[in-house]
Amino acid sequence: METERQETYDIMAVCLLAGKIMLQSGAETYRVEDTMMRIAASFGAYQSHPYVTPTGILFSVEGSEPTKTKLIRIVERTTDLEKVASVNGISRKISAGEYTIEEAYKELKKISESGSPYSLWVHVFAAAIASGCFLIMFQGSWDDFLPAFITGGLGFLSLLYFHQLVPIKFFSEFSASLLIGLQALFFVSIGIGGELDKIIIGSVMPLVPGLLITNAVRDLMAGHLISGLAKGADAFLTAFAIGSGIAVIFSFF
């Protein structure tokens, strides 16, 4: 009896850890719920009910004993698609029966403690080159490529820096887009950049909440109304922060 109870708790720990990593890394709600149920079922807990929202996970397992329920709180959310993919891979292996509970927990712990696969400077370079490319995609001229490259890179770097300084998303996005607007204005006024609009649009693109918007809509369509609305609100706030940062520049100059 006692060992059975302990085992149920162990299963729940594995499921919750997997769910937590996925949710924090930006997976869709239905994928998190599906993965948790699959893992629970392959360890023998066939009756499980995960309830996932962007800010917390409720998970309960039914069995011969009284139902057990656990809750974990999700505070920090980032985007880390590598982790989503690796947890997905582990869940596949668990379903195939390749891992015991302890091994699965250890593997998941390893994933949750692993850092980003790219260094900070690779991120900044990617943001910079994406900004330049977006400028061309929006029919900008190649003369503006370099200003957009620098503006986008520095803007993204400042987003990361401000976020470390004050962990409020709205503030860091607002300041980053303010800085982008200032830089674009600077480049245009000293004559290096041509079209102010195109440079700003291109450099702001790395901040745009594309993943959130897609996830919000998919959650809503899948019937996860609370998650969908919460993510939609998150995306709207981000868009509003970026917009108002740029708006400040325009109202002053």
Partner 1 sequence: MTIIEQLLTSFIASAAFVIIFNGPKRSLFHCGLVGMVGWMFYFLLEANGVDMVLSTVIASFSIAIASQYFAKKYKTPVIIYSVAGIIPLVPGGIAYNAMRNFVQNDYNLAINMAAKAFMISGSIAIGLVFSEVINQIIRKSKLKTIVNKSQ
Distance CA 78, CA 136 (A): 28
HSE of 98 in the Cβ direction (CA atoms, 13 Å)? 8
96: exposed, middle or buried (C-beta count within 10 Å: 0-12, 13-18, 19+)?
exposed
Among 51, 138, 163, 182, binds partner 1 (CB under 8 A): 138
Distance CA 2, CA 49 (A): 23
Distance of closest approach, residue 121 Cβ to partner 1, in angstroms: 11
Among 163, 218, 230, 237, binds partner 1 (CB under 8 A): 218
User: Which listed range, 61-69, 116-124, 167-175, 185-193, lies at the site for partner 1 (CB under 8 A)?
Assistant: 116-124
CA 70 to chain centre: 24
Q: Which 41-100 residues touch partner 1, going by CB under 8 A?
A: 79-85, 88-89, 92
Among 214, 223, 225, 233, binds partner 1 (CB under 8 A): 214
List all residues 6 or more positions away from 124 whose beta carbon is below 8 Å from its beta carbon: 153, 156, 157, 160
Give me the residues paired with residue 50 across strands: 59
Among 58, 74, 129, 192, binds partner 1 (CB under 8 A): 129
Query: Smallest Cα–Cα separation from 28: which of 236, 245, 218, 251?
Result: 218
Nearer to partner 1, 14 or 249 (CB): 249
Among 221, 223, 225, 233, binds partner 1 (CB under 8 A): 221
Distance CA 59, CA 146 (A): 50
Residues near partner 1 (CB under 8 A) are 25-28, 31, 79-85, 88-89, 92, 116-118, 122-123, 126-127, 129-130, 132-134, 136-138, 156, 197, 200-201, 204-206, 208, 210-211, 213-215, 217-218, 221, 239, 243-244, 246-247, 250-251
